[in-house]
Amino acid sequence: MLGEVIKIQDFKNEKHVPTIDCIEKVKANEEFEVEIQVGKEIKHPNTVEHHIVWLDLFVHYDNDPNTVHIGRYIFGPTLAEPHVKTKIKLPKTGTLIALSYCNIHGLWENTKRVEVF
61-68: Cβ within 8 A, 24+ apart? 61/92, 61/93, 61/94, 62/92, 62/93, 62/94, 62/95, 64/94, 67/97
CB nearer to Fe ion: give 32 or 54. 54
Catalytic one of 12, 27, 43, 50: 50
Active site residue 69: no
CB nearer to Fe ion: give 43 or 113. 43
Question: Residue 78's closest CA among 54, 106, 101, 45?
Answer: 45
Catalytic one of 4, 7, 44, 85: 44
Residue with CB nearest Fe ion?
102
- Binding mask of the shown chain, residues 66 to 105, with x at each position contacting Fe ion by CB under 5 A: ------------------------------------x-xx
Torsion of CA 31, 112, 69, 42, to 10 degrees: 110
Active site residue 60: no
Q: Does 7 bind Fe ion (CB under 5 A)?
A: no
Neighbouring residues of 61: CB distance < 8 A, sequence distance ≥ 6: 68, 92, 93, 94
C-beta of 106: minimal distance to Fe ion in Å? 8
**Contact set with Fe ion (CB under 5 A):** 102, 104-105
Question: Which residues have a catalytic role annotated?
Answer: 14-16, 44, 50, 102, 105
